[in-house]
């Protein structure tokens, strides 16, 4: 029993130890390199707070964060709605799979980031190309996962639907979609992280506001504290998305475990 308690204690302490080690090495590293190439945590915090006194491109850090969030959420909304609908169509109808599905397949291998230059050439650096890019980047995971989730349905469950007199649409709604829900969620998770990456890339390559812009700006004038600060906020929001999605999953699918 004593050994058990001791082991448990070690397991609880270890994460704290390693995270503290990480932060300490960050501080040490920044001190060792003179604090310019790699500012320590204190300077990063200070730099971020400074945007409240001297806004960049007219906005504080909160403003830029909100802009990036607004863009990504708009794009994600569009791609989830369209991705799920088209995924259902392509997954349940073989004709649509052969036509619409094949058409979309042509575009799938092109990484969303590769679309950025042509989008800028066609649409400039306004909001529209950014939203389009986010949609391009986040559409496929959710569509493909929806389509494959639909095909996962057990024959016996479809038989049950038939036997109890369900119309095709009723069976889709009551049986097929709930079965596909875990796959759809997995697709949404991937889409969200793709979308967040794309908005970042798009902002880094042509924007006037946003977290990506802050990164580029900081990089350009060698303000590494700004760069690190923006990156940390980006990572934090990414982690938030993951966490929220996990909670949503547990809420919407109470039968999973």
Partner 1 sequence: MEQIKTKKVKVRNLSKIFFQKSSSFEVVKDVSFDVYDGEFLVLLGPGRCGKTVLLNMLIGTETRTSGEIHINGAESGKPSPAMSMVFQKKALLPFKTVMENVELGLKFQKIEKEPRRKICQKYIDLVGLHGFENSYPHELSGGMQQRAGIARAYAVSPDILIMDEPFGALDAQTRYQMEEELLQIWEKERKTIIFVTNNIEEAVYLADRIILLSSCPAHVKAVFPIELPKPRDLFDPEFLRIREQIETQTDLSL
Partner 2 sequence: MEIKGNDLEKLRLDHKKIENRNIFKFRILTVMTIIIFFGLWQFVADQGIVDSRTLPSPAKIYETFLAKLTKKAPDGNLLSANILASLQVSLFGFFSAVIIGVPLGLLMGWYKILDKTLTPIFEIIRPIPPIAWIPIVVVWMGVGLSAKVLIIFFSAFVPCVINSYTGIQLTNKTFINVSQTFGASNFTTFIKVGIPSSLPMVMTGIKIALGNSWSTLVAAEMLAASAGLGFMIQMGRQFARADVVVLGMVLIGVLGAILSFLFSSLEKYLLRWK
Contact positions vs partner 1 (CB under 8 A):
154, 156-157, 159-167, 170, 174-175, 178-179, 181, 253-255
Q: What's the Cα-to-Cα distance from 134 to each of 167, 189, 252, rounded to whole Å?
A: 37, 14, 25
Token digits of residue 255: 């039968």
Token digits of residue 179: 């079965």
Positions 152 through 211 that interact with partner 2 (CB under 8 A): 193, 196-197, 200-201, 204-205
Binding mask 34-53 for partner 2 (x = CB under 8 A): ---xx---------------
Residue 56 backbone phi and psi in degrees, to 5:
-100, 130
Number of residues written out for the chain: 257
Residue 95: name its binding partner from partner 1, partner 2, none (Cβ under 5 to 8 Å by kind): partner 2
* Rounded (5°) CA angle 33-39-42: 130
E strand or H helix at 41: helix 41-50
Binding mask 209-238 for partner 2 (x = CB under 8 A): ------xx-xx--x-x--xx-xx--xxxxx
E strand or H helix at 107: helix 102-107
Q: Which is nearer to partner 1, 31 or 253 (CB)?
A: 253
| Residue ranges in contact with partner 2 by CB under 8 A | 10-11, 14-15, 17-19, 22, 37-38, 94-95, 97-100, 102-103, 106-107, 109-118, 120-122, 193, 196-197, 200-201, 204-205, 215-216, 218-219, 222, 224, 227-228, 230-231, 234-239, 242
């Amino acid at each position: 029993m004593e050994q058990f308690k001791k082991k448990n204690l070690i397991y609880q302490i270890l994460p704290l130890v390693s995270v503290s080690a990480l932060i300490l090495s960050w501080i040490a590293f920044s001190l060792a390199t003179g604090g310019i190439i790699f500012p320590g945590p204190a300077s990063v915090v200070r730099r971020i707070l400074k945007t409240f006194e001297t806004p960049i491109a007219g906005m504080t850090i909160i403003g830029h964060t909100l802009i990036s969030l607004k863009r990504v959420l708009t794009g994600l909304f569009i791609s989830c709605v369209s991705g799920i609908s088209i995924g259902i169509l392509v997954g349940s109808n073989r004709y649509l799979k052969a036509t619409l599905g094949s058409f979309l397949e042509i575009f799938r291998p092109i990484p969303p980031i590769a679309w950025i230059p042509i989008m800028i050439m066609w649409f400039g650096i306004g909001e529209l190309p950014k939203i389009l890019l986010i949609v391009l980047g986040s559409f496929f995971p959710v569509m493909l996962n929806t389509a494959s989730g639909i095909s996962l349905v057990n024959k016996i469950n479809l038989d049950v639907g038939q036997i109890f007199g369900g119309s095709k649409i009723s069976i889709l709604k009551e049986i097929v979609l709930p079965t596909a829900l875990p796959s759809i969620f997995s697709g949404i998770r991937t889409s969200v992280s793709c979308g967040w990456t794309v908005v970042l890339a798009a902002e880094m390559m042509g924007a006037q506001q946003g977290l990506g812009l802050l990164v580029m700006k900081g990089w350009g004038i060698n303000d590494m504290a700004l760069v690190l600060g923006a990156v940390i906020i980006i990572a934090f929001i990414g982690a938030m998305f993951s966490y929220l999605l996990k909670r949503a999953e547990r809420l919407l699918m109470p039968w999973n475990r």
